[in-house]
């Protein structure tokens, strides 16, 4: 078992990074009841850990007995039937799914599948009114139509189910949905908190740590606790005992984007743009999110730029990220940003060196 799962806190009492939030959740849950919740914050901050610990607090150990199913659904949409296949993680008390996996058909998922799940009330527990919990991930990626349907579902079936929403940012979640939930912001853990977690894992695993090693991993993780733990385990697999100058592991896709940035800076031509497009495609088909690709590519390019160009490049990165979120084909917008950067950088080189 990976350390990130092996040492994941299973109850609210054992959560140390977000102690105050965990205590507030314990006080919130009383008599097997709770409001609709919206957890939001950056990736790797601990949203899913808090949600699973909360479910255990409400329902007991039964919430941890989950099964993964890949279920096909047939949905009647007017005169046609739509086939949708979704992966769900469920126990007797909750169901977890990503409705955004259905793409442009997400509104049918919310209208029919979630509505069907919300209708079914579980067996009453100890004579109290029972309810089911629906955990919906990446709710910020849902279309507006799907979010409006979700709002109606939250109102109509609140007696039979509670909905826990999870996303990175609430900026794309409708106000009508946010206002029906208790919004809980999960901040990224500090570098010191990440170091404490890594040292706790090292103690449990009986590892000897050189001075400053966990600090380097925490620094490189960019305050992403999940990534820090994965990196720590990768370093252990690569070389143990650890050495004083052992570097923290760099993820393969990050190294790949660094190479792409070097390719772009070394040559600005249609031929190089065509070659880079193939590398971007490779990242996307390996499930690296396009927003992450753009952000990391900008980070690598900024390291190679003069200060007078940085503001303009950041402006165009933000412009194309916005267009990418509004559009459908991410590759078009990523390629457009790279072409724009090549144009800006080429003009700068000509003006500087002639």
Question: What are the beta bridge partners of residue 128?
Answer: 125
Residues 128 and 27 in one domain: yes
Percent of the chain with pLDDT over 90: 5
**Res 127: pLDDT:** 43
Return d(Cα 117, Cα 151) in angstroms, integer: 15
The answer to whether residue 201 is domain-embedded is: yes
User: Which of 163, 185, 207 corresponds to the end of one domain?
Assistant: 185
- CATH number of the domain enclosing 321: 1.20.272.10
Q: Which two tokens stand for residue 136?
A: 């919906």
CB atoms within 10 A of CB 36: 18
- Rounded mean pLDDT, 30-48: 81
Residues 141 and 47 in one domain: yes
Residues 100 and 218 in one domain: no
Please give the helix or strand (H or E) that residue 341 lies within, else none. Answer: helix 330-353
The answer to whether residue 124 is domain-embedded is: yes
- CATH number of the domain enclosing 60: 3.40.50.300
Angle ∠(129,183,109) on CA atoms, nearest 5: 70
**Res 126: pLDDT:** 47
Residues 117 and 216 in one domain: no
User: Which of 176, 203, 238 corresponds to the end of one domain?
Assistant: 238
Residues 226 and 317 in one domain: no
The answer to whether residue 243 is domain-embedded is: no
**Res 78: pLDDT:** 67
CB 85 within 8 A of CB 73: yes
Return d(Cα 112, Cα 107) in angstroms, integer: 8
Q: Could you read off the pLDDT of 304-329 as tens digits, one per residue? A: 888 888 888 899 999 988 888 777 78
Q: Could you read off the pLDDT of 224-272 as tens digits, one per residue? A: 888 888 888 888 887 777 777 777 777 778 888 889 999 898 888 899 9
**Res 121: pLDDT:** 59
Residues 173 and 272 in one domain: no
Residues 126 and 228 in one domain: no
Q: Which two tokens stand for residue 133?
A: 């919990």
Percent of the chain with pLDDT over 70: 93
- Rounded mean pLDDT, 196-206: 87
Domain with 234 in it = 191-238
Q: Is 191 helix (H, G, I), strand (E, B) or coil?
A: helix
Residues 114 and 195 in one domain: no
Q: Could you read off the pLDDT of 151-182 as tens digits, one per residue? A: 887 887 777 788 889 988 888 888 888 888 88
Residues 17 and 159 in one domain: yes
Residues 139 and 175 in one domain: yes
pTM value?
0.78
Q: Tell whether the model's pLDDT for residue 336 goes beyond 50.
A: yes
Q: Tell whether the model's pLDDT for residue 200 goes beyond 50.
A: yes
Residues 112 and 222 in one domain: no
Residues 92 and 221 in one domain: no
Domain count, the chain: 3
The answer to whether residue 20 is domain-embedded is: yes
**Res 337: pLDDT:** 92
**Res 339: pLDDT:** 92
The answer to whether residue 246 is domain-embedded is: no
Residue 180: DSSP 8-state: T
């Amino acid at each position: 078992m990976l350390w990130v799962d092996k040492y994941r806190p299973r109850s609210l009492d054992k959560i140390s990074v977000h102690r105050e939030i965990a205590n507030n959740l314990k006080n919130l849950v009383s008599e097997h009841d709770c409001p609709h919740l919206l957890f939001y914050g950056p990736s790797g901050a601990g949203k899913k850990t808090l949600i699973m610990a909360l479910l255990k607090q409400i329902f007991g150990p039964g919430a941890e007995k989950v099964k993964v199913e890949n279920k096909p659904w047939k949905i009647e949409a007017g005169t046609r039937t739509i086939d949708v296949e979704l992966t769900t993680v469920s126990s007797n008390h909750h169901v977890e799914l990503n409705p955004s996996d259905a793409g442009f058909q997400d509104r049918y998922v919310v209208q029919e599948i979630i509505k069907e799940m919300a209708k079914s009330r579980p067996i009453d527990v100890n004579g109290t009114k029972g309810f089911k919990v629906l955990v919906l991930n990446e709710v910020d990626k849902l279309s507006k139509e799907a979010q409006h349907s979700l709002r109606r579902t939250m109102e109509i079936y609140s007696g039979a189910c509670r909905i826990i929403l999870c996303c990175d940012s609430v900026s794309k979640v409708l106000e009508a949905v946010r206002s029906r939930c208790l919004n809980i912001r999960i901040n990224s853990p500090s570098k010191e908190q990440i170091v404490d977690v890594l040292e706790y894992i090292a103690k449990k695993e009986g590892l000897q740590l050189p001075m400053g090693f966990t600090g380097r991993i925490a620094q490189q993780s960019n305050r992403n606790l999940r990534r820090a733990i994965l990196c720590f385990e990768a370093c252990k697999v690569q070389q143990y005992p650890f050495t004083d100058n052992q570097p923290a592991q760099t993820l393969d896709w990050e190294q790949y984007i660094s190479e792409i940035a070097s390719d772009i800076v070394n040559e600005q031509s249609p031929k190089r743009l065509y070659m880079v497009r193939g590398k971007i495609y490779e990242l996307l088909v390996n499930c690296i999110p396009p927003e992450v690709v753009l952000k990391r590519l900008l980070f690598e390019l900024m390291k190679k730029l003069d200060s007078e160009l940085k503001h303009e490049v950041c402006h165009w990165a933000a412009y194309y990220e916005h267009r990418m979120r509004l559009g459908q084909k991410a590759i078009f917008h990523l390629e457009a940003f790279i072409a724009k950067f090549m144009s800006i950088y080429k003009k700068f080189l000509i003006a500087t060196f002639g």
